[in-house]
Structure 1
Amino acid sequence: MVASGKPQLNVEVVYAALDKQYLVRANVAAGSTVADALVASRLVEEVPKLDLANAEVGIWGRLVDRSAPLQDGDRVEVYRPLQIDPREARRQLAAHGRAMGQKN
């Protein structure tokens, strides 16, 4: 896309809170980074509790640095911190004789 003579990229910025999912479409200039998309998305205004400065981010499921360049159509993902270490969760389940994914 070209707006005002400058090439633009269409990207999505997504965040999944515990109770709601947020998807914001943003247009950024060609050559923009993940950090630029986060600012353009205004996600912090939608989710004031989001600690965007310390959250890990990725593009299409792969962790990236905020300085990573964007391509048209990228999906920038903001990740929540783990509530419990997966290894610890498996240990706790094993101690109770259960397996991951088992309901009871």
Structure 2
Amino acid sequence: MVPAERPGRIRVELVWSPVAGDVRHAWLDLAEGSTLEQGLRSCEAFADQLEHLGQFKLGIWGRQQPLSYGLRDRDRIEVYRPLKVDPKEARRQRFQAHGGKRIVSRHRPLAGKGG
């Protein structure tokens, strides 16, 4: 449940994934004018990730932002881990693992095309 609005305060959401398959979420109650960095540092649940802060890319609603970004009420802070492998390279590896055959995704059918 969202508490009643308080003057001079903003409420933002923080979402991060310390490891693949583990998504964490926290609501932060901050002073108006707080920066992205201040928001991250205020979250106790995120404290173990602060030492790695320079390795992460940060975004608000899917758009990359610097630590100095001024937060607004209802912003969603997203912390992006570095990729372990380039997505194009991972696709090439999957293609080769299947013997060079086209990989058909169950989410995007070929719509009658041969594969």
Q: Is the alpha carbon distance of 1:37 and 1:48 closer, same or farther for their aligned partners in structure 2, counting shifts above 3 Å? A: closer
1:18 maps to what in 2? 20
Q: Which has the larger radius of gyration?
A: 2
2:71 maps to what in 1? 70
Give the alignment of 1:1-104 within 5 angstroms.
1-2=5-6, 7-16=8-17, 17-45=19-47, 47=48, 51-95=52-96, 96=98, 97-99=101-103, 101=105
- Comparing both structures, which one devotes a greater share of its residues to strand? 1
Q: TM-score, normalised by structure 2?
A: 0.71
Segments of 4+ in structure 1 off by > 4 A?
47-50
**How far apart in 1 are the matches of 2:39 and 2:105?**
35
Q: TM-score, normalised by structure 1?
A: 0.78
Q: 1:100, CA displacement in angstroms?
A: 7.1
| Identical-residue share of aligned pairs (%) | 35
In the alignment, structure 2 segments of 5+ residues that lack a partner are 107-115
Number of matched pairs: 98
